[in-house]
Amino acid sequence: MEGTYLSILILLIGFVILLGYLFIRIKKEGLRPVVVDLIVKAENMFRHGENQKKLQWVVDMLSKVIPAPFNVFITTEMLIAFIEEVFKVIKPALDNKPKEDNETTE
């Protein structure tokens, strides 16, 4: 009986480690370019100063991209923190990006 509990415990620990590994891999390698694309699209879709709308749109779109099993473990706060981390890195490039023709300048 104790051997069964030990086996289940080992399987659960292995599963948690695998999920953690996959999460880190997706976060670091797979989602960063997606977040960059979403941020750029949000910058073009919304007007200057509509930062909350931009952030909410990126969060909504990103939550659709994440595989379903991970949505259970990933909170909105985690998504926002990751988006803000990526935004800090690309902000200088966005600030120097030329305005598109269809954007209005203020």
Model's pTM, two decimal places?
Answer: 0.64
Instruction: List, for residues 55-79, the tens digit of each pLDDT value.
Output: 999 999 988 887 777 777 788 999 9
Amino acid at 4: T
Rounded-to-integer distance, Cα 49 and Cα 104, Å: 13
Using CB atoms within 10 A of its CB, is residue 61 exposed (0-12), middle (13-18) or buried (19+)? middle
Instruction: Give the pLDDT of residue 103.
Output: 47
- Does the pLDDT at position 98 exceed 70? no
Straight-line distance from the first to the last Cα atom of the chain, in angstroms, rounded to the nearest whole number: 72
- Does the pLDDT at position 84 exceed 90? yes
Using CB atoms within 10 A of its CB, is residue 39 exposed (0-12), middle (13-18) or buried (19+)? buried
Instruction: List, for residues 14-45, the tens digit of each pLDDT value.
Output: 888 877 777 777 666 678 888 999 999 998 99
